[in-house]
Amino acid sequence: MTLSFTVSPTDSQFSPRIGTVTHGSIQIQTPGIITTTSRGVIPHLSLDNVLRTPSIQWIHVPFESFLEHSPPVPTLLPPLRDFLRFSPSKHLLSMSLRDISSAREMPPNTNGYVTANTVRGVRRVSPKDYKSYAELCKPDIVFALGDNAYPSTNASGPNAKLAAGMSQKRGIKSVERTLAWLGTLLNDQSSTTFVSLVGGASLPARSAFANGLVETLYGPEAEQVSPLKTLDEGVSGYVLELVPMALEAKATPAPDSFISLIQSSLGPLPMNKPRLVFGGSSSNLTGNTSTNAHLGPVTPQTALLLTLHCGIDLFDSRYAEEAASVGVALGFRFPAPAPTEGKEELVLPLGWNLYDIKYRMDFSSVGSSPSGSGWGWRGVVGTFEDDPKVDGDVVCLCPTCSPLPPNPEEVILHSVVDSPPSQNSNPERSHRHRPPYTRAYIHHLLHTHEMSAHALLKMHNLHVWERFWDGVRGVLSDGEGNSANVERFKKKVERFIKVYSDKDVMNEAREMWAEVEVLRGKGRLAREKEREVKEVQKKAGKDGDSEVEVGASLEEQVREKLETSLEV
């Protein structure tokens, strides 16, 4: 099966564009999303829940964790898809050696090998080894090895301090190596190959690499990849890794620097191949997260800017996934909801940190907006009869907001007298869907450290992330011609960035997650209570209201206060 990519014609090389990636029966609309894996699984989602989540189509697998055994176990039961049990009719599988999001310091690569990380230590992988793994594993797409040298790893000894950035020499080496390794991979190879566009934060190095791809080859290099005339002929797509750019460009504020670096890579290259952006992860964030935020996951705002200015086709989903890991339910939409007539411009959160005590009694869908404001997401079925109607919120069909009862044929019957559940045991319920899982329930699950909190949030967040891109595609395909569409898209991007506050809900949630971790153990409830009381008193003080009763109705009062302050 081959991969094909069709893309709408654009006026400029870097214009935003819409397209379709097709692989057999799988069709992925672009701009769209890629789901990443850890140790071969999509974190928090068991396989049955992966299959319940239609927004999961393109799955990317870093191979390095399998190097713990030699030979790597998936090579014993190839292809990789069968080992990981993803669906051939639903899931497109790509594979790289390293975890692209990682900024972990690694021993330097050499011409002969790349260093990879496993829980049992560092492994050296030669381009030949990698090629054999890829041939056995048969992913739909293999990412060629990239020599992404990080400043801290290539400089050692007395000169380390001098090499604050990547030296020009090192930059050239990285470009040459990656081109050579690509040649090895393309030698007599049938699988679909993507290449990471290297060159770090150096504009010349990046365009040198891209030029190297399209250059006509001669001599042994040409023989190696014959009948290809250039390396690029053997390449079906381009990978843009933000972490190496961010690591070198520490002083430069993202995402503007990303835009020029990506443009310099894409400049010499043909326009008809998919362009993928992979960002970092929050595990790269240490200390002051405001200074190294560009090592974190790609935010919706950055992704929009890269789409607008670089014509990116696919982004990883780490932002949505990590939000789920720290207890944040996403709630943004594209285009950003319009303000009610005569009202002020909206300022909206990207999501809600469900650790917050104010959700203790909130029985609405995890992504819904406050009553009547209509800028969020809600389940098909209203939560409870007495709940205020959430007018205007868009319906979210994820398994968290709009759970479907299990298909009766799929319910396991354990004996001959077992009968499948009747679908409508409750005659009052005319809906096929069940009421949503509520914020109050997820809040409870987070505070009791129940794993299902993250499964439920992840299914929702991936859905919101995919629907966000659906909104992007909608604006780009309105059909008034490319330049008009781009102009309209640009305005909507500007508005999105204005409306969605950059208050870091993720950071706040990460801190609260860590606090729950600290509070665990004996006497935890007492410690939590003490803290909650303190918080209430603090907030009460701020409001100039010192007569907060700390008693049974305490949470009620907090909630009221917060609700009124939330109203837009």
Three-state SS at 240: strand
Query: Is residue 411 near another protein by the rule CB under 8 A?
Result: yes
Among 188, 414, 428, 538, binds another protein (CB under 8 A): 414
Among 8, 13, 43, 260, binds another protein (CB under 8 A): 43
Q: Judge whether 163 and 155 are in contact, CB under 8 Å.
A: yes
Q: Which two tokens stand for residue 426?
A: 């409750």
Query: Is residue 410 near another protein by the rule CB under 8 A?
Result: yes
Shortest distance in whole angstroms from residue 46 CB to another protein:
4
Scanning 8-16, 56-64, 274-282, 437-445 for contacts with another protein by CB under 8 A, the matching segment is 437-445
Cα 357–chain centre separation: 27
Residues of span 307-366 touching another protein by CB under 8 A: 360-361, 363
Shortest distance in whole angstroms from residue 457 CB to another protein:
11
Query: Is residue 377 near another protein by the rule CB under 8 A?
Result: no
Query: Is residue 382 near another protein by the rule CB under 8 A?
Result: no
Q: Which residue, 169 or 524, has its beta carbon nearer to another protein?
A: 524
Q: How far apart are CA 294 and CA 282, in angstroms?
A: 10
Residues of span 181-220 touching another protein by CB under 8 A: none
Q: How far apart are CA 118 and CA 64, in angstroms?
A: 6
Among 209, 437, 465, 496, binds another protein (CB under 8 A): 437
Three-state SS at 396: coil
Shortest distance in whole angstroms from residue 306 CB to another protein:
30
Query: Is residue 546 near another protein by the rule CB under 8 A?
Result: no
Shortest distance in whole angstroms from residue 74 CB to another protein:
8
Query: Is residue 73 near another protein by the rule CB under 8 A?
Result: yes
CB burial of residue 89 (10 Å; 0-12, 13-18, 19+) = exposed
Q: Long-range pairs for 70-73 at CB < 8 Å and ≥24 separation?
A: 72/133
Shortest distance in whole angstroms from residue 452 CB to another protein:
5
Query: Is residue 76 near another protein by the rule CB under 8 A?
Result: yes
Among 376, 403, 475, 536, binds another protein (CB under 8 A): 403
Count of C-beta atoms within a 10 Å radius of residue 200: 26
Task: Name the residue with tokens 């140790």.
Answer: 39
Strands of the sheet with 19-23, listed across from one edge: 3-7, 19-23, 26-30
Scanning 129-137, 284-292, 398-406, 486-494 for contacts with another protein by CB under 8 A, the matching segment is 398-406
Query: Is residue 288 near another protein by the rule CB under 8 A?
Result: no
Scanning 71-79, 122-130, 227-235, 328-336 for contacts with another protein by CB under 8 A, the matching segment is 71-79
Query: Is residue 44 near another protein by the rule CB under 8 A?
Result: yes
Scanning 213-221, 230-238, 419-427, 492-500 for contacts with another protein by CB under 8 A, the matching segment is 419-427
Query: Is residue 444 near another protein by the rule CB under 8 A?
Result: yes
Taking CA atoms, 50 is separated from 54, 55, 566, in Å, by 8, 9, 34
What are 241's strand-pairing partners? 278
Taking CA atoms, 506 is separated from 104, 194, 326, in Å, by 21, 32, 7
Among 20, 22, 49, 152, binds another protein (CB under 8 A): 49
Q: How far apart are CA 484 and CA 411, in angstroms?
A: 51
Query: Is residue 162 near another protein by the rule CB under 8 A?
Result: no
Residue type, 563: E
Q: Judge whether 237 and 5 are in contact, CB under 8 Å.
A: yes
Query: Is residue 118 near another protein by the rule CB under 8 A?
Result: no
Query: Is residue 48 near another protein by the rule CB under 8 A?
Result: yes
Among 1, 85, 105, 168, binds another protein (CB under 8 A): 85
Taking CA atoms, 342 is separated from 371, 375, 380, in Å, by 19, 16, 30
Scanning 19-27, 36-44, 477-485, 537-545 for contacts with another protein by CB under 8 A, the matching segment is 36-44
Query: Is residue 428 near another protein by the rule CB under 8 A?
Result: no
Binding residues for another protein, rule CB under 8 A, total 70
Q: Judge whether 19 and 35 are in contact, CB under 8 Å.
A: no
Instruction: For the chain, state the CA radius of gyration.
Output: 25
> Counting every residue, how long is the chain?
568
Q: Which residue, 262 or 509, has its beta carbon nearer to another protein?
A: 509
Scanning 137-145, 256-264, 275-283, 439-447 for contacts with another protein by CB under 8 A, the matching segment is 439-447
**Helices 505-519, 524-542: inter-axial angle, 10-degree rounding:** 140
Q: Which residues touch 165 (CB under 8 Å, ≥6 apart)? A: 151, 201, 248
Q: What is the DSSP string of 94-163?
A: EEESS-TT-----PPP-SS-EEEEETTEEEEE-HHHHHHHHHHH--SEEEPP-----HHHH--GGGTTT-
Binding mask 447-486 vs another protein (x if CB under 8 A, - otherwise)? xx-xxx-xxx------------------------------
Residues of span 506-535 touching another protein by CB under 8 A: 523-526, 529
Among 58, 83, 258, 468, binds another protein (CB under 8 A): 83
Query: Is residue 2 near another protein by the rule CB under 8 A?
Result: no
The binding site for another protein (CB under 8 A) comprises 38-49, 65-66, 68-69, 73, 76-77, 83-85, 119, 360-361, 363, 384, 399, 403-407, 410-419, 421-422, 425, 434-435, 437-438, 440-441, 443-445, 447-448, 450-452, 454-456, 523-526, 529, 552, 555
